[in-house]
Structure 1
Amino acid sequence: NLTFTGTNNIVRSATTFANTGTTVLGNADTDTFAALGSLTATASPTLSLAGSVRSGGAMTLGQTGSSIILSASTTLDTTGPAASTPTSSDLTIDGNVRGTIPGSSALSLSAGAGAIRVSGNIGGSGTLLTPLSGNQTFTTSSDGTNPFIVPVDLTSNFTFSAEYQVGALTYLDTIFSYGHYTEGILLRANRGDGFYVHGFYVQGSNKGNPWLFGNSSAAAGDEFLPITVNSKSNANGSGGTVSVLVDGVQKISGGFTGTLNPGDKTIRIGSAHHANNEGLDATIRNMTITVGDASPLGAINIASSQSGSVTFAGNVRADSLNANGAGSGGNYNLSLTGANVNVASATLANAGSLTLGSSGSSITFGSGVSATTQSAISLAGTLTTSGTSTLGRAATTNSGQGQQGATAVSPATSITLGSATTLGTSGNLAIAGDISGTAAITKTGTGTLTLTGNNRGSGNDNGFTGAINVSGGTLTLGSTGAAGTGTVSITNGATLSTTVDALTGAVTLTQGNISGTGSLNATIITDNGSSGNNAISARLAGTGSLNKSGSGTLTLSGNNSYSGGTSILGGTLALTGNGRLNDSGAITINGQGATLDIGSVNDTVGAVTLTLGSIIGSGALTAASITDNGTVSNSISAILAGTGSLTKSGSGTLTLSGNNSYSGGTNIAAGTVVAGSDSALGSGSVTFDSGTSLRAFDADGALRTLSNNITLNGRTKVEVPFGGATDIRLTGILSGSGSLGVTSDMNGRSLQLVGNNTFTGGVEIFANGGSNPNVRIGNASALGTGALTITGTPQSGSGQLVAIAGLTIGNAVSISSGSTFGIDTNSFGLTLSGNVSGTGALLKNGAGVLNLGGANTYTGGSTVNAGILQAGRSSSLSGTTPVSGAFGTGSITVMAPATSSAESTTGLVAAYGGALDLNGYTVHNNLTLSGLGAPAPQAVQAPFPFTGALANSYTGSDRTGTASGNINLAGDTAIGGRGNLTLSGPIDGGSGSDYDLGFGVSENLTLTGQIGVNRALRNIIVTDAGTKSQLIIGSNSKIKVANLLVFGAADVQGTVTASGDISFSDRNSDSYATTPPPADLTIGANASLTAKSSVTLKVDGAITVEGSILAPNLFIGSGKRDVTIQAGATLGGNSAGSQADFALVGSKVGDVNLDGSVNSRLLLVGAGAFNDPDNLGGSV
């Protein structure tokens, strides 16, 4: 070991230390060691330096792996001893340099024109961790539930540093704990009136109660104070030392034996390893941990007289690095190329070049770096700054004098990227020089990186063509060419900011923002953010494009003018504030969840193509054109305005729900369009091509009214509404050669057609399975000029065609096989004058009148549930088979509710329901009837309605309503009408049941068929309904009934057989406002009345009997008019040889002529003459 101490050691020759022990050159900063020649000290494994070490020749210190310890501030100078002639020799440091107390030693270097080369590590070679960097903070809680925890293996050599802002302290507040105190280190306080160490344990040794900082009056406050814990093991592993510094002042030191190796290798602050409730009320920031040999120097100073190059090739740990350049020299090149450089602050003022980093290296300037004097700067690896930092200078010029123009004084710093470079900033870093190269720049940290150089290059200089990756903080572009010509990527919440018109390369925005008052002229801007929200407030200009591909949201708030178009392939592109897209730029939306959200912005754009996605917002989008070519469901809820058009060309579904005003028209060439507002299709005309569909929806189920004129070029399907509760009302004119096909879901909604339509392709209504639509018509031309085709069967009580006004429509109707044509007239009159054909059936609903006036041939029959089904023409026969007519060729059923709801004064019990009106025409269809008919007020005539289930409303003399088919009763039934009614077919009761049949007519009722013969009726009740009313029972008619009750005039030429009573009475006075006329009664020569109980002929008119009347009890005459029993008449009991009890009542003034055969006990009543019969067989 060789030691030189003292203030003035001089060796007057070249000096070499070849000893292999420790060499000490000074132990205080006032000591001096000088060699007039060269100085070489490379053999010693440990070289300790302090004070001034000078040489007149080259100086070489240490060897690879050796230790150079600075026990105090040290100056290494190769310009010669003081007062000697300055020399310029190289200074070489090959060993590892560190101080004895971190940050307490400074190293000054001076070699004049000689080169300074440092190949060893300065300040240790440990690994730096930054759990809390920059402005990051963590607040612990006094109850110990919120500790700061760092899992890390510190080994025995480490430096822990953090800044604490302390609140009120409580008992045993943990400041720092590494492992359990019996095997690690514990630093804590235990009083509420100050911050000091109660217990400091190193492997269980209590080191007392020293104050760290503060007192009872400074237990809390806004001041952040740093605490540093240093641990250093002995080289042989026989223990080591631990020291604690507060604000750079050592407060505690202690030792430990063995190796610091706790079982729980975790740092805890605010919670001890052995007691989780030892909390700490404090805020912590700027926490760094260096693991390994870590004894950073205080300052490294390079003399201002230096002109030779200075190179630091190893790791550097120092509080500051000052490369002076203000003296006579300073024109030197400076390189820091070690793998790990950590300097708190650096002022690099050399005028030569500056090299920071190498491939894979890491340089950290904790409080910032200033390097503005260099002609060239080379960057590589990772550069991290926390404070305000500046690299490079911009070119400067003078203003010129007189005729002289401005001239350059100093060029901009040339900055070259040697490899991929990472710039990490928690403070602000400005690079003012001109960057060149192809390597990439990565910006990390929370600070701001500002680029202001001309990085695009000029002439033969290609400038900076590499990529810029911004993964933290802000990248500010302060010049037009600041970003060079490469691409820019923004991730991890970072921000790109520009104050000028900058950037020509492509930009990728994954997570972050683009801001500033300038414009970006990027070729392509791509947002591929997968989550979160990105924003661009800067103006996007130039000919570039914007691609939005990620699933997150990108918000634009700048008044953009870029013309290259916009593609939204995923997520949401949102406009807010002043956000605009180019007035003529194209927009493409094509991606799962892809959305253009214009917010409340009103914007004008170019052509819009929507393949997969949506357009939303409360504002208005004015597009040159909009094309939906999607094959799935797309939607536009924003307002579409302007003069542009909309084209739906894809096979998918497009939902339009904005209050649109665009006037360029709508062309639905494929797929389905859904109208979510009354103005969904704008104000122009709409064209539907073949195979397209129209739907509508309203959240509240309100009627959706579309007023556009519509052209149908092919078959168009209208779905009302499929999945909602909304009717569609089309008020415009439908034209073209196409057709409408109408379907629905089980909600049974409607399509309303009220325009004066001219389309020729017809309408087909589908009602089957889950589809139950109806078409409501409010115009005689609502269905155009084509045929109406019915497919399927409507739900009970509904119809496929519904009248909302009184109309006559001339369309032909075709009812498909197995289908039912449901018609609901509501309370209106509806006339179908076209021909109804097909094998399906017809169903009449609604209280109004349905008139069928075509030569109808449908064969499926007709059912009348409500209202009146009226004939508009007579049937045609082929032989005895109907071939056409108002009601086709099938049977007709007139229904009434199963529950009786009305009862007549004569005992007929039935319900109101539908009615069939012959309207003066002949109908050959078979009929099934029940009920009282339609309850229309104008049709009521007590005790039966005028109409009845079967009626004739026609009162003219040119035709008589005639039903010639079979009539089967399905319940108690009324038949009537105002005009002459003839029933020539058989009438029978229901199978297994006896029903009542009531007639009420205002003119002649003629019965010529068989009634009750096959299935007897219970009661037949005939009441007159007018002064010309008369019952005519034809000569071929046979009536079989329990009881026959006739009110009014009658002419009986057929046969009536009753199992009960037969009664003919006066007209029903309830039907007349004044006294009704007398009712005459004729029983014709071929007529026969046979009753099991009685026959009563008690009309107030003349009675003439020519035929046979047989019953146990006979009563003839009312005493008001003559009674004539003609010769050939037979009156008697209802069995052979039996006699009847016969009351014959004559008039007081009239005669009784009894010329017929009477086998009765006869009671004569009256004052008139009695003409004695010739063949009176009974007693008088």
Structure 2
Amino acid sequence: SGGTEVESGTLLVAAPGALNGAGTVAVTGGTLGGDGTVGGPVAVTGGGVLLPGGSNTVGTLTLANTGAAALTFSGGRLLCDLATVAGSCDRIDVAGTLALSGTNRLALAFTAGTPPAGTYTLLTYAARSGTGVLVRDRPYPNATLTVGATAATLTVTGAGITYLTWTGAASGTWDTTTANWTLLGTPSTYTAGDAVLFNDAAAVFTVGASGAVAPSSVTFDNSVENYEISAILDGTETSVIKMGSKSATLSGVNTYGGGTVLAGGFLTVGSTANLPAGPLTFQGGILRFTGTPPSSLGAYDVNWDSFSGGLELTSGTLTLADAISGSGSLSKSGAGTLILSGMNSFRGGTAVNAGFLRMNHAQALGAGDIAVAVGGQVDLTGNLTVTNAISIKGVGATSSGEGAIRSVNGTTNTWSGPVTIAENQARIGCTGGGLLEVSGVIDSGANVYEVVVRMPNDTGGTLLLSANNTWLGNTWIRCGTIKLGIDHALPTGSVLRLGLSAGQTGVTNSTLDLAGFNQRVAGVTDVGTDNRHLVTNTEDAFSTLTINNTAAYTFSGEFTGNLDIVKTGASTLTLSGVSSTSGGLIVSNGNLVVSTSGSLGSNSTNITVAAGTLTLQNSAALADEASLRIADGGGAKVTLAEGVNETVGYLYFGEKLCM
């Protein structure tokens, strides 16, 4: 008796099977199909699809409920196959009432060849209610859809459903006198009102006209060649349908009024002058603006409940404020900026292939995953907590490479979903001194990929890590701050690098702030000399940095704040900077070389060599009042380089005070 919800994917009820429960079957984003029987009411909303018979097979789906809402259509789609036998098609038989609300769309598919003339019954029902409509998602020549009192039928006349197909056999001119077309394989000329098709079989792919043309529809089905149409497309009912994987460019000042369907590939326009206002349907295709895009798509009637497709912006900024729902996906490409400010719930995921995608709402990216490609960037604009999973590549879309995910303009944001590092040295950052907290786990799978933090040279920013992250590569803070929000937020097998690459400049420090937490790393080193390199603790509570290096490293930066340092690992760590830490030092393995006066800081007075070697290469390497403890048993030693004389306040061997 409970209900069933089809949110994504396909649920097929195959004969002689049945879905006999009395509960409502809600198709909210996926597809319900088959040739069996459904017992309860069926409600199709938000881009949901009914597919009687299954994909590319003719069959009848029976809805046995006899109620006043046996089948409710509200923003849904009906996909029916038509066969090559007259009248043979998919059908839905509804025992009760068909209730229509809003705009619902009929899509046709052909099982093989051209459906011939005849009457195709798509729906039968006991009664019809509501003020909604069922319309074809694209016009077909010689075909009329009628939604009557008890049935919805498609009447096909003449030679059946076919197109006047462009060949360009004589020229690239679209007029009424030149045989640049074929109809059912015979050379033909164009007549106003024809439904025309541009495919890959033509000889010419640049098409112009001396005046406006008004076909009933213009369909591009090109997956090999790109088309450019400079003709002015006119006609109140004229529509443009783009299928196939290649591009069709409209460069005329078009005035057609029947709407635009993007079902595949790219529809390329310079500006809104080439794309007149009207219905704009995204069914998997991409709208490409090569010039300045509109500030929004408000002039177009977009069905956001079933949106699936993308926008490519060469420059400029376009804002989508409407709520996008359904099972579709969104892609962003081009160097321009796409702003999402709606509370979206679409489930198909988001691909940022290039340029900027700016989030003005925490749910702007819907319920799916996000993939950021090289050259792409997701910007967070303030006080947002984003829960989506995201995969990132590259350094971002700016020339300075400040991150594939960024908090911008000094704002504070949180990314709580998991973050996958999908390429070596992928970057995360902030601008304007802002803060980005990543509370989701950052992981690189089985790949040894380094994570890079790069803030602006002048303003800096902070990346707060509050999960135990698991990426397998090193950590490089080029500019700005990583701040810990949990013990061991950095992977314990990661080597910490600080500083800018050779040739880069900046005034912002490269900083790891332990912030009262503890961290183990596999080494610490630095590069470049243009900015300061700091490992610090800005909190009153002491932090411990454990350096477990199995390879030799040199660190010329500074340790500051209430920070204890523990040297483990069998290899050598050389400290050559001047520090001011107030904590202690423990050497428990390997060799710690202190090469510069003040490398441990004048306030670091508690030094223990539990095992391994402490090598002093400067007579002022230790504070004069320091307490130096050397474990007995022969496993620990202190080595003074030639000419070095060191003064300490207390010297212990084991527990025995020697001076």
**TM-score, with length taken from structure 2:** 0.56
Q: Is 2:170 aligned against 1:531?
A: yes
Deviation at 1:753, TM superposition (A): 1.9
In the alignment, what sits opposite 2:472? Answer: 860
Give the match for residue 926 of structure 1: 521
Equivalent position of 2:605 in the other structure: 1032
Aligned pair in 2 of structure 1 residues 1046, 694: CA closer, same or farther (>3 Å)? farther
Residue 774 of structure 1, CA deviation: 2.5
**How far apart in 2 are the matches of 1:833 and 1:597?**
53
Pair 1:793–1:527, CA change in 2 (3 A): closer
Number of the residue aligned with 2:414: 810
Aligned to 2:338: 730
Give the whole-Å Cα distance in 1 for the aligned partners of 2:394 and 2:504. 28
5 Å-filtered alignment, 1:542-691, equals 550=180, 585=193, 587-591=195-199, 592=202, 593=204, 597=208, 608-611=218-221, 616-617=229-230, 621=234, 623-624=236-237, 626-633=239-246, 634-640=248-254, 645-649=259-263, 651-660=264-273, 662-679=276-293, 682=297, 683-684=299-300, 686=302
Q: Which amino acid in 2 is paired with 1:1014? A: G
Map of 1:364 onto structure 2:
none
Secondary structure of the residue aligned to 2:243 is coil
Q: Does 1:750 align with 2:355?
A: yes
User: Is contact 2:478-2:500 (8 Å) kept?
Assistant: no
Shift of 1:1023: 5.8
Whether 1:831 aligns to 2:436 is yes
SS in 1 for 2:605: strand
**8 Å Cα contact 1:802/1:824 also seen in 2:** yes
Structure 2 unaligned regions, length at least 5: 1-162
2:566 corresponds in structure 1 to 984
Query: Hey, what does 2:577 align to over in structure 1?
Result: 998
User: RCO (CA 8 Å, sep 6+): is it higher in 1 or 2?
Assistant: 2
The 1:622/1:983 distance shift into structure 2, 3 A limit, reads farther
Distance change in 2, residues 1:530/1:625 (3 Å) = closer
1:708–1:731 Cα contact (<8 Å) kept: yes
Maintained 8 Å contact 2:607/2:627: yes
Q: Please state if 1:1017 is matched with 2:633.
A: no
Q: 2:577 corresponds to which letter in structure 1? A: G
Larger radius of gyration: 1
Letter in 1 for 2:542: T
Query: SS of 2:337's equivalent?
Result: strand
Aligned residue in 1 for 2:370: 764
- Number of the residue aligned with 1:716: 329
Distance in 2, matches of 1:900 and 1:790, equals 30
User: In 2, distance between residues paired with 1:618 and 1:732?
Assistant: 34
Shift, 1:873, TM fit: 1.1
Residue-by-residue CA offset, 1:462-506 (whole Å, 9 max, x unaligned): xxxxxxxxxxxxxxxxxxxxxxxxxxxxxxxxxxxxxxxxxxxxx
2:310 counterpart of 1:694: yes
8 Å CA contact retained: 2:627, 2:650: no
1:662, distance to aligned residue in structure 2 (A): 3.6
1:626/1:753 CA distance change after superposition, 3 Å: farther
Taking structure 1 as reference, are residues 773 and 846 closer, same or farther at Cα in structure 2, changes over 3 Å only?
same
1:1030 Cα shift? 0.9
Is the counterpart of residue 1095 in structure 1 residue 645 in structure 2? Answer: yes
CA contact (8 A) 1:695 1:718 kept: yes
Once the 2 structures are TM-superposed, how far is the Cα of residue 900 of structure 1 from its aligned partner?
Answer: 10
For residues 1088-1118 of structure 1, the C-alpha deviation after alignment (integer angstroms, 9 at most, x for no partner) is 8967644254xxxxxx844369xxxxxxxxx
Give 1:963 shift. 1.3
Distance 1:1008 1:528, change over 3 A: closer
CA distance in 2, matches of 1:589, 1:1054: 87
Question: 2: CA distance between counterparts of 1:533 and 1:921?
Answer: 73
Quickly say closer, same or farther: Cα 1:641–1:664, change in 2 above 3 A. Answer: same
Which amino acid is the alignment partner of residue 631 of structure 1? G
Identity among equivalent pairs (%): 12
Deviation at residue 863 of structure 1 after TM alignment: 1.7
Report the alpha carbon displacement of residue 866 of structure 1 after superposing the two structures with TM: 0.7
2:651 is the counterpart of 1:1107: yes
- Shift of the alpha carbon at 1:868? 3.4
Counterparts in 2 of 1:964 and 1:640: CA distance versus 1, 3 Å = farther
Distance 1:901 1:669, change over 3 A: closer
**In the alignment, which of 373, 376, 390 is matched to residue 789 of structure 1?**
390
Q: Distance in 2 between matches of 1:605 and 1:1031?
A: 84
Per-residue CA deviation, residues 977-1011 of structure 1 (Å, 9 max, x unaligned), is 55312213437765xxx84432422x51321343x
SS class of match (2:452): strand
| C-alpha contact 1:962 1:981 (8 A) present in aligned 2 | yes
On the 8 A contact 1:844/1:869 being kept in 2, the answer is no
The corresponding residue for 1:777 is 379
Q: Is the 8 A contact 2:616 2:644 kept in 1?
A: no
Q: Give 3-state SS (helix, strand or coil) of 1:998's partner.
A: coil
Alignment match, 1:1083: none
CA distance in structure 2 between the aligned counterparts of 1:898 and 1:595, rounded to whole angstroms: 49
Change in CA separation of 1:821 and 1:764 when aligned onto 2, cut-off 3 Å = farther
- In the superposition, the TM-score normalised over structure 1's length comes to 0.34
Give 1:694's aligned amino acid. Answer: G
Query: Distance between the aligned counterparts of 1:964 and 1:922, measured in 2?
Result: 12
Q: What SS class does the counterpart of residue 278 from structure 2 fall into?
A: coil
Contact 2:500–2:528 (Cα < 8 Å) also in 1: no
Aligned twin of 2:70? none
Q: How has the CA–CA distance of structure 1 residues 890 and 751 changed in structure 2, closer, same or farther, with 3 Å as cutoff?
A: farther
The residue aligned with 1:893 is: 496
Instruction: Give the aligned partner of residue 320 of structure 1.
Output: none
Any idea what SS the aligned residue of 2:556 has?
Answer: strand
* Code of the aligned partner of 1:894: R
- CA deviation vs aligned residue, 1:36-95 (integer Å, no higher than 9, x gap): xxxxxxxxxxxxxxxxxxxxxxxxxxxxxxxxxxxxxxxxxxxxxxxxxxxxxxxxxxxx
Output one character per residue of 1:625-665: Cα deviation in whole Å (capped at 9) or x when no partner. 6341522433322345587532213x443323343464435
What amino acid does structure 1 have at the position aligned with 2:486? S
AA of the residue aligned to 1:1022: G
For 1:1094 and 1:533, the matched residues in 2 are separated by 88
Once residues 621 and 1037 of structure 1 are traced to their aligned partners in structure 2, the CA distance between those partners, rounded to angstroms, is 86
Whole-angstrom CA distance in 1 between matches of 2:277 and 2:472: 48
| Contact 1:644 1:662 survives alignment (8 Å) | no
RMSD of Structure 2 on Structure 1 (CA):
5.1
* Distance in 2 between residues matched to 1:934 and 1:822, nearest whole Å: 23
Deviations 1:359-404 (A, max 9, x none): xxxxxxxxxxxxxxxxxxxxxxxxxxxxxxxxxxxxxxxxxxxxxx
Deviations 1:693-733 (A, max 9, x none): 536365xxxx353334462633535363xxxxx41310243
In structure 2, give the amino acid aligned to 1:1095: N
Q: Judging changes above 3 Å, is the alpha-carbon distance between structure 1 residues 641 and 684 closer, same or farther for their aligned structure 2 residues? A: same
Q: What SS is found at the alignment partner of 1:727?
A: coil
Relative distance call for 1:973 and 1:900 in structure 2 (3 A) is: farther
Distance across 2 between alignment mates of 1:901 and 1:969:
27
Q: Which residue number in structure 2 is paired with residue 917 of structure 1? A: 512
AA of the residue aligned to 2:366? T
Contact 1:571 1:594 in 2 (8 A): no
Change (3 A) 1:676 1:738: farther
Q: Does 1:844 align with 2:452?
A: yes
Q: Which runs of 5+ in 1 are unaligned?
A: 1-523, 537-545, 553-565, 574-580, 721-725, 876-884, 903-910, 937-944, 1058-1085, 1098-1103, 1110-1126, 1131-1180
Check 1:611–1:1092 CA distance in 2 against 1; reply closer, same or farther (3 A cut): closer
1:374-389, aligned counterparts within 5 Å?
none
Residue pairs, 1:186-335, within 5 angstroms: none
